[in-house]
Amino acid sequence: MTATQRTAEHNRTALITGASWGIGHELTKLFTSDGYDVVLVARSQDRLEQICAELEDAHNITATVIAKDLSVPGAAEELYEAVSAEDIHVDTLVNNAGFAIYGRFSETDLERVRELVQLNLVTVTELTRLFVRPMCERGEGQILNVSSLAGMYPIPKAAIYAATKSYVLSFSVALANELAEDGITVSVLCPGETDTSVLKRGGLQHSALPEKDLLDPETVAKTGYNGLQQGQTVVVPGGIKEKLRHHLPRILPKTRVAATAKDYWEKE
């Protein structure tokens, strides 16, 4: 499905990557229930069109589908050009798409490593750069980047994933400060392990994470959405346990933090 004819009076528009399942899907519900038009981006055309139909039936909004694999070099520019061709002004950018790899670094598939770095790090940077310029010109906008509590730890057997999420966290906090004077809000969502399909692949199914007390994607999305609208920079869903895990790396030496993370992620 492509965009339907847009009226002269536009709703605000949110572009959400990884919109087909999990946290991304829950965020689409929140934005549309609040009157936003949405641009939904993921690899599955059929799944996105199904979501699009549901959203347009439930709300008086326009949902645009762009099926794209964002782990491919050049995908960010292609997405930006596709949105520009539809004459869509993106008011809120949500960089949610991502995946993880868990296992010994020396045994990881190099092509999958490239895809992870491209999606979790390069695409996030490129999409932010492309969409933030028009926001600066308009003097308003929002960016919600999805990191993880994993981004606060060096994690053995998840070294690449944790490092990319650490980049997203640092990148977002820096931009929040830099772009505030341009009228742009930047928030970074840092959930702990959440009950999504990410935990079922990339080797994570063999870690201890699926056996943990998992967060609900709906709750995570709602916390992230509210944090963005309230202008919070770092948003950590959950309770005391998640807040403690957020602050622990500030107290312990890095080597101890890595050992603690290893014990937490590995099965006994």
Distance from C-alpha of 194 to C-alpha of 220, rounded to nearest angstrom = 8
SS3 of 204, please? helix
* Nearest residue to 98 (alpha-carbon basis) of 181, 2, 175, 196: 196
Options 161, 167, 225, 264, the catalytic residue: 161
Distance CA 223, CA 2 (A): 30
Instruction: Show the tokens assigned to 62.
Output: 């326009």
Give the closest residue to 23 by CA, choosing from 227, 265, 262. 227
Active-site residue flag, 161: yes
| DSSP assigned state of 66 | E
Cα 167 from Cα 152, distance rounded (Å): 10
Phi then psi for residue 267, to 5 deg, are -75, 145
Gap between the Cα atoms of 33 and 268, Å rounded: 43
Instruction: Give the residue numbers marked as catalytic.
Output: 161
